[in-house]
Structure 1
């Protein structure tokens, strides 16, 4: 579908902004940018139509059947809409056609010679068209809907840029309104009341409508303006945090948000480590994709995913979080600006609900501690994440079975080393046997982690310890790369790429095939 010439390079003038401000003033209602964009497109079309009407005022279309007088302006559609003026009128001189008149016309375009045309001539093909049926040259045949369909992104981008540059206009939750016409929500104490309401609600979340109702409203102004003004007031006050997903505004009291949401848990804090991607073989890259760490460069990405499967590593199990990798980002709600998004998590085993928080910038979802503890899920447990039947809620599911005794590697810090001892544990969920880990002393691991960080222990040193200890349990004296990834993350948060690259680049380690490694025997 063709677009209009000005839509392809859309610009917004000060006159346009004044026009839109007038619309907002007249309606007394904040409007979304796509509505404002459409108003502007319709105005442009009307301006063009008015300009054409003015330009062609008193201009008649040439039709042989009609009569014309000296001095009249005529347009000739058959001559590429040329404009001319009638200089003279005389009787026709051909008896074969009966009575008719001939007009002499000089054209506005000097390149066209003066010509004569028959008038009051009934039998002519050009008479089949109506004088009002012609489209004026330059008239736009596209509708506002068609222009918005083809050029919406360009128009809205230009308009948003212009709106944000205007200090007199304010945007809240995707809507715009003049600053000077907003309601005052500070001097009347409404924000203090909102804080008290949220405090009673354990911090929230609450919608703006709920808060307005609880504080007694904001006078007799239109409801949309009350909501807009309250949203703006709350957004400018550090006591409040907007935590709703796209197109939903929810408010929470910042001081009552979990500390793990406001500050990334220590075990999840990732400091990028340089590595050479050329060291990673195709086999290794496939394993990296399989692990699908949230900080990986080679993870999968499916925006249409209905369900995501993830394996819990130690940092997330200990922190009560889920990794927000590419597939998980397709499942969990997003937001335009807020760094934290509130979400309800549902335990698919029994329907119990938990408060969850999506921290997109740091790539994790917080709120799983109780669920993990309740089901005694181990490091390496496999979870399936999907949308619940109720909109806005996320379902957490795993393949549960009657608990059975399994032999798993238990982490045991000792004398500055991380040791692993296989022992029996009762597990009632499906897990990845290459990533499963257990422990009897979390406090000791926490202490060892802190000591490792304080000593700034290198990745090569960590890997040497892990390969040495984990390979003791294998008859072949080998350890799988995925197991090394899982164990490394007990001591340092890293995606698999730098770990695997370190294995390849360090001669202390030897690859024996199928992603298995051992200490070099050379």
Structure 2
């Protein structure tokens, strides 16, 4: 154990943190010296390190002048003392006498001749009663080792950064001298000049790439000052692309993997049969019957909060190379780096080897479900011989949060042949015998033995599949049991079968499906006394009621629907 009196090691010191005069100048000099942008957390750590170092120097300077006065210590004539409460004034003990106080145990009173004016002052000594001027006793462990202040400041950042970082972030944001991109900060006056010609070249690079390009790839064709560091070049170009007044560039990267594309790429790049992301996104727009209520809304979340997510493929997933962005996926996948970021380019790899392939994640909007997928993901489903009902497993890697790299796998099974639903775009559904090398969830599969009627029904057109009543009615006709009730025909199905049917031509979250029936949005759709889901065409003209769901229930397929 050692004794110290460094306030900068205490919660009390940091919980009322404010920037001192000159500390923004210190951070400016630091960024110039480093020749690299730094995250606000790194700036906070360096600032905390500076304060600890400065206080330690003051403390050591006091010790060099003499013993630091503490009321609990006993002193003798001739001792040279330093008084921190008096501005580090020094003096020499010239006398000692007994002291008395009715509330205290016996103690001494020392007479001290102060240096400078020679005045004699008296102080308590050998005092057992607690006193504010006594040093704090601290265990000397790895957390508080003053011989490595850089490591110490990292520990302080972990403990007290919550008080420092927000104050520093607010100050940097208000200053015109600093500029940020993706959480990193640099000096505006030291950005490299990115002219219109540079932006035109960047646009050409992205256009030729017909997809996504990394900042490093764009830099290769731009002539940047050779004396400038790569980090400053990257930051300057990223800032210029993000600030382009014409809005020609769309950010689709992560913290360490900054990727860009042209807006048209995220809308038109074909997934299958000339259907691009824009078409798929339109399949994800909620019907007007859904009313999003604000109670319990959590539009954000903590990406990377869990390490593993699994999902059973619907027909829509399998057919389009698509995966849903539900609450489980949100908790695993990287969050947007910017508030207005619409998509991010992820990387997927098979654990047993093989090439890394891309998948584009489209974040959810106010009334639009999120999703992720690519033509390459569809190829993965096909080459691995997967089918609707297969369980896909996504696991985070050490670089997921910063680079967007994830491992994709599935639950394997012995190779077999199954008759599964398939269809060409715009043509009649057919059952085909396909090879399968995965476990198949029977309740989510579309085998001929379960749904042979699918082969006799035509696909829905765009308007029909986006209108909830026609989608549900068609789902019942495809998989439901046809019954005579009273004077008319009704269709009856289990929830599982109806979910499979409604997710053939568009994604339809289970929470939304349950909500429609449980909240009785349409009189023609209801749950009977036996727990079956029922469609009664004769009641289709009744008034429609709104389905009230929270944002997480409607968009992320999460939460309880018991109301």
Match of 2:286 in 1: 270
Q: TM-score of the superposition, structure 1-length normalised?
A: 0.67
Q: Distance in 2 between matches of 1:220 and 1:512?
A: 78
Partner-residue secondary structure (3-state), 1:384:
strand
CA distance 1:432–1:502, shift in 2 (3 Å): same
Match of 2:360 in 1: 357
Q: Distance in 1 between matches of 2:358 and 2:262?
A: 14
Residues 382 and 430 of structure 1 are in contact (CA less than 8 Å); yes or no, is this contact kept in structure 2? yes
Of 154, 163, 166 in structure 2, the residue corresponding to residue 154 of structure 1 is 163
Q: Distance in 2 between matches of 1:44 and 1:388?
A: 36
Partner-residue secondary structure (3-state), 1:232:
helix
Match of 1:176 in 2: 185
Of 7, 10, 19 in structure 2, the residue corresponding to residue 12 of structure 1 is 19
Residues 339 and 360 of structure 1 are in contact (CA less than 8 Å); yes or no, is this contact kept in structure 2? yes
Residue 196 in 1 paired to residue 198 in 2?
no
CA distance 1:373–1:269, shift in 2 (3 Å): farther
Match of 1:313 in 2: 314
Match of 1:131 in 2: none
CA distance 1:314–1:228, shift in 2 (3 Å): same
Q: How does 1:409-448 map to 2 (within 5 A)?
A: 425-426=433-434, 428=436, 429-437=438-446, 444-447=458-461
Q: TM-score of the superposition, structure 2-length normalised?
A: 0.63
CA distance 1:385–1:36, shift in 2 (3 Å): closer
Match of 2:346 in 1: 343
- Bigger mean CA deviation after superposition, 233-242 or 397-406: 397-406
Residues 65 and 90 of structure 2 are in contact (CA less than 8 Å); yes or no, is this contact kept in structure 1? no
- Bigger mean CA deviation after superposition, 496-505 or 35-44: 496-505
Deviation of 1:348 after TM superposition, in Å, equals 7.7
- Bigger mean CA deviation after superposition, 466-475 or 197-206: 466-475
1:236-283 deviation per Cα after TM superposition (whole angstroms, max 9, x unaligned): 233333322233223334444453446752222234754899xxxxxx
CA distance 1:270–1:136, shift in 2 (3 Å): same
Q: Distance in 2 between matches of 1:2 and 1:117?
A: 27
Match of 2:306 in 1: 304
Q: Distance in 2 between matches of 1:348 and 1:54?
A: 58
Q: Distance in 2 between matches of 1:482 and 1:179?
A: 57
Of 214, 217, 233 in structure 2, the residue corresponding to residue 206 of structure 1 is 214
Residues 460 and 505 of structure 2 are in contact (CA less than 8 Å); yes or no, is this contact kept in structure 1? no
CA distance 1:478–1:116, shift in 2 (3 Å): closer
Deviation of 1:163 after TM superposition, in Å, equals 1.1
Q: Distance in 2 between matches of 1:349 and 1:54?
A: 61
Deviation of 1:150 after TM superposition, in Å, equals 0.8
Q: How does 1:364-443 map to 2 (within 5 A)?
A: 364-367=371-374, 368-372=377-381, 378-386=387-395, 392-397=405-410, 399=412, 401-406=414-419, 425-426=433-434, 428=436, 429-437=438-446
Match of 2:510 in 1: 496
Match of 1:166 in 2: 175
Residue 236 in 1 paired to residue 247 in 2?
no
Aligned length: 452
Q: Distance in 1 between matches of 2:161 and 2:456?
A: 59
- Bigger mean CA deviation after superposition, 156-165 or 376-385: 376-385
Residues 39 and 184 of structure 2 are in contact (CA less than 8 Å); yes or no, is this contact kept in structure 1? yes
Gaps (5+ residues) in structure 2?
1-7, 99-108, 115-119, 139-143, 145-151, 269-275, 448-453, 485-489, 537-563
Residues 7 and 147 of structure 1 are in contact (CA less than 8 Å); yes or no, is this contact kept in structure 2? no
Partner-residue secondary structure (3-state), 2:173:
helix
Deviation of 1:479 after TM superposition, in Å, equals 1.9
Deviation of 1:211 after TM superposition, in Å, equals 3.2
Q: How does 1:429-508 map to 2 (within 5 A)?
A: 429-437=438-446, 444-447=458-461, 449-451=462-464, 453=466, 456=467, 458=469, 463=472, 466-467=475-476, 470-472=479-481, 478-490=492-504, 493-506=507-520
CA distance 1:44–1:396, shift in 2 (3 Å): same
Of 40, 49, 53 in structure 2, the residue corresponding to residue 42 of structure 1 is 49
Deviation of 1:151 after TM superposition, in Å, equals 0.8
Residue 225 in 1 paired to residue 232 in 2?
yes
1:168-213 deviation per Cα after TM superposition (whole angstroms, max 9, x unaligned): 20112332111011110216x33333333444444443242x4333
Q: Distance in 1 between matches of 2:233 and 2:157?
A: 30
Residues 214 and 257 of structure 2 are in contact (CA less than 8 Å); yes or no, is this contact kept in structure 1? no
Partner-residue secondary structure (3-state), 1:445:
coil
Partner-residue secondary structure (3-state), 1:485:
helix
CA RMSD of aligned residues (A): 5.2
Residues 17 and 163 of structure 2 are in contact (CA less than 8 Å); yes or no, is this contact kept in structure 1? yes
Deviation of 1:8 after TM superposition, in Å, equals 1.5
Residues 45 and 140 of structure 1 are in contact (CA less than 8 Å); yes or no, is this contact kept in structure 2? no
Match of 1:33 in 2: 40
Match of 2:552 in 1: none
Match of 2:29 in 1: 22
1:466-517 deviation per Cα after TM superposition (whole angstroms, max 9, x unaligned): 446533379998521021122234576532223224334557644465x644
Deviation of 1:426 after TM superposition, in Å, equals 4.1
Q: Distance in 2 between matches of 1:372 and 1:186?
A: 44
Q: Distance in 1 between matches of 2:181 and 2:221?
A: 21
Q: Distance in 1 between matches of 2:398 and 2:243?
A: 35
Residues 270 and 494 of structure 1 are in contact (CA less than 8 Å); yes or no, is this contact kept in structure 2? no
1:139-185 deviation per Cα after TM superposition (whole angstroms, max 9, x unaligned): 89765344222112332222112211212201123321110111102
Q: Distance in 2 between matches of 1:499 and 1:333?
A: 28
1:305-359 deviation per Cα after TM superposition (whole angstroms, max 9, x unaligned): 34x3312234434543111223333544444224322123346899465431122
